[in-house]
Amino acid sequence: MKKRRLGKSGLEVSAVGLGCMGMSYAYGVLHDKKEMISLIRTAVDRGITLFDTAEIYGPFTNEELLGEALAPCRKQVVIATKFGIKIQDGKQVQDSRPEQIRKSVAGSLERLRTDIIDLYYLHRVDPIVPIEDVAGTMKDLIQQGKIKHWGLSEAGVKTIRRAHAVQPVTAVQSEYSLWWRRPEDELVPALEELGIGFVPFSPLGKGYLTGTFNKDSTFARSDFRSIVPRFTPESLTANQGLVELLKKVAEQKKATPARIALAWLLAQKPWIVPIPGTTKLNRLEENIGAADITLTSEELRGINSALDEIKVVGDRYPEELEKRTGL
């Protein structure tokens, strides 16, 4: 597996990471714990070194899963987790007060079976707590040896700059893919200027870019996609042009749509590291293979030109969840 550095931080990780959320959260299926542990360890054997989780995934169960799976190979991997969202009265609420962060990091360290977290993200920007207070707390945790690096998830450029001025940010995590290119407007140029790495989640459009969904696809109520506007039958149908484009390029490159979608992301900047999630061995192997695909400048121009002609239909989040992003 090829390696990449996240910005100027010096943190080196595999070119493709593994998002572990879906193994125990958000997609409506409870997977066998032993099978998921086996999959995570296979990922390590195949060269993946960046593993992504969060306190709220479960809550807690995803971190526990990762901690158990990676315990035998802890020194070989980079563990990224997130803080700042908790369950209160049955609902998710944001809480980034310094005292809450300290509780969160202690819990995550225990569940992950480690004495230090490699990359600790603020999951969503708290509109109440100044980002300078959060960054200052991260600085303290780094000095205390509890975390090595810190980052922000779904943060706006102004907030990133303010945070970076207090304690250098190693990576920003946000959605970015062929069907969500808004980060190209402001975020990607700002990260390049500041020397911050970019870790795109949902690089395969929550599975859509693999070409496996159509207007007849259905999702359980416990599956997050059941409330996502882009996964209504109308949107699934309207966005098929994007899938057809990927299939066409994949055929030319003797690859799969998923590999082309990931290869396109990897070609954007050398400090971009996507974290596709999966619970299946064949998909894991497919995603890993994307790191070996090179898209030429001509091929990239052709893809981008075709993308400019495709209007993506449907919002990426329900309105309430979209309000949490870009602060």
> Which residue has tokens 């020397």?
195
Q: Rounded to whole angstroms, how far apart are CA atoms 308 and 217?
A: 27
> Quick count: other Cβ atoms within 10 Å of Cβ 208?
26
Q: Which of 25, 27, 57, 176 is catalytic?
A: 57
**Which among 206, 210, 161, 196 is positioned nearest to 269, based on CA atoms?**
196
Instruction: Judge if the upstream peptide bond of residue 59 is cis by omega within 30 degrees of 0.
Output: yes
How far does the chain reach from its first CA to its final CA, in angstroms? Answer: 35
SS3 labels along the chain: CCEEECECCCCEEECCCEECHHHCCCECCCCCHHHHHHHHHHHHHCCCCEEECCCCCCCCHHHHHHHHHHHHHHHHCEEEEEECEEEECCEEEECCCHHHHHHHHHHHHHHCCCCCEEEEEECCCCCCCCHHHHHHHHHHHHHCCCEEEEEEECCCHHHHHHHHHHCCCCEEEEECECCECHHHCCHHHHHHHHCEEEEEECCCCCCHHHCCCCCCCCCCCCEHHHHCHHHCHHHHHHCHHHHHHHHHHHHHHCCCHHHHHHHHHHHHCCCECCCCECCCHHHHHHHHHHHHCCCCHHHHHHHHHHHHCCCCCCCCCCHHHHCCCCC
Please say if 57 is a catalytic residue. yes
Residue count (the chain)? 327
Catalytic positions, written as ranges? 57
